[in-house]
Amino acid sequence: MSVGTDYLRYDGMGLAGLVAGGEVHPSELLEEALRRSEAVDPHLGAMASTMEEEARRQIARGDTSGPFGGTPFLLKDLRAQYAGTPTDSGSRFFAGTVPEYDTEVVRRHRRAGLVTFGKTKTPELGCNLATEPRWGGPARNPWDTALIPGGSSGGAAALVAARVVPIAHATDGGGSIRIPAACCGLFGLKPTRGRTPAGPDRGEGWGGLSVEHAVSVTVRDSALLLDATAGPDPGAPYYPASPSRSFLSLVGADPGRLRIGYSLHTPRGHDLHPEHRRVTEETARLCEELGHIVEEASPRWDLNRAGAAYSTVVNANVARTVADRARTLGRLPGPDDLEADIRRRVEEGNRTGALAYLEALDTIHRVGRQVSGFFETHDAWLTPTVAAPPPPLGTFDTDSEDTARFRSLIGRFSPFCSVANMTGQPAMSVPLGQTSDGLPVGMHFLGRYGDEATLLMLAAKLEEARPWFGRRPAVAEV
């Protein structure tokens, strides 16, 4: 096998199969991934740092057994700690944070045989739908480098779409797996709250809003990685019921006849971009063709109270994260250490009292109960992942002094994703369409709590009916 010629033909499972069969050595795959990164990242700016020598040491130790044995992998530069490797979190104030031990998800990545050779860019502390940290500069969309790749896992999505790696680590506290997956033409699954571990230092991210998983080029890679990482770590405060079979075994299985509701307007009644409306209608018809019952229907929840509660929880958690870093450094952040939006979040978070925080959590849990009623009669809710094509770089400016406009722009672009973070339900973005000028359009499916199984079965059937693996941006042809 010629690694350079054939690398693009395989997903992560495919590459691992080549290693297992003796057709290629993990070091050859690593060298190809490094070559591709060096070729495409000058155009994308999506790499935060490299771990080339650490990856070579892992291979030299023979530490590449597992279902993804020898597959090159990238870690988001946020939340996931890799011992001895800086985690900058897209922030000057956090630059040079070197953990002494791995987080549990990273340990499970290694046990799965993934070879991590670098970290991908994130907006500062993951708090933007674009990946344009002042510390390190913007990541760009590989389909059009003038546009955003989404956020906060935008660096990961850009590099997977450019086929540097077939799968990369990502996190999701408000759409941060699904939004960049949609912008870059990938599959992105946000698992159920608590499905993947947050330890060993914490029990949950952002008060239960955030969870870790991946963006990938195939459904089966996402399912296999979930098998490798799912399950509570010691001391986990909660964990959803385990499925009766592996997630990978669900890929290709018959989901049965599902009842799917779909929406052609945002929850606030705003119109979708015409291209996104078109792809949503096409996807609804495709689901009907696959034998499902499809109807216009959507869950309802208290939008205003939910939005305010979500902000309260996020801002309080951001304020605590900054306070922890300040204690470590022995100083408060200076005027140039944090972007304006993060400074405002810290100020708002510091003003949040204990009673207000508890009230916000109660509101979020009430949203979960309101939305769950829809899933007594429906198996999934279909919408576009975002309401419009990815906008130009600079649209979501975290240094803007106009806070209201900044947050309004975010809400108009991504009106569908954050409810899954509040309810804890699994959700996915599936790359089922394109705009007339060739930009990806992701379709969002919200599933029943704890039921990744139905989403994965549906996603695999959609992937079979409308294959996307062969669609890749021109920058990938290096």
Please tell me the distance from the alpha carbon of residue 66 to that of residue 59, in angstroms, as a whole number: 13
Does the annotation count 152 as an active-site position? yes
Judge if the upstream peptide bond of residue 249 is cis by omega within 30 degrees of 0.
Answer: no
Helix (H, G, I), strand (E, B) or coil at 384: strand
Does the annotation count 176 as an active-site position? yes
Residue 89 in tokens = 């979190």
Tell me how far apart the terminal alpha carbons of the chain are, to the nearest angstrom: 18
Does the annotation count 400 as an active-site position? no
Helix (H, G, I), strand (E, B) or coil at 120: strand
Quick one: which of 440, 461, 387, 396 has its CA closest to 160? 440
Catalytic-role residue among 176, 263, 298, 429: 176
Distances 294 to 18, 126, 455 between C-alpha atoms, Å: 40, 35, 15
Q: Could you tell me whether strands 187-190 and 427-434 are parallel, antiparallel, or unpaired per DSSP bridges?
A: antiparallel
Catalytic-role residue among 76, 121, 190, 461: 76
Phi, psi of 277 (to 5 degrees): -65, -45
Question: Maximum distance among all alpha carbons in the chain?
Answer: 62
Please tell me the distance from the alpha carbon of residue 88 to that of residue 77, in angstroms, as a whole number: 6
The strand pairing partners of 422, in sequence order, are: none
Distances 465 to 32, 374, 469 between C-alpha atoms, Å: 31, 27, 12
Quick one: which of 307, 324, 306 has its CA closest to 125? 324
Catalytic-role residue among 37, 89, 91, 152: 152
| Matching residue, tokens 């704890």 | 450
**In 10 A of CB 253, how many CB atoms?**
13
For residues 211 and 189, the answer to whether their CB atoms sit within 8 Å is no
Please tell me the distance from the alpha carbon of residue 118 to that of residue 168, in angstroms, as a whole number: 10
CA-based torsion, 374, 172, 245, 14: positive or negative: positive
The residues annotated with a catalytic role in the active site are 76, 152, 176
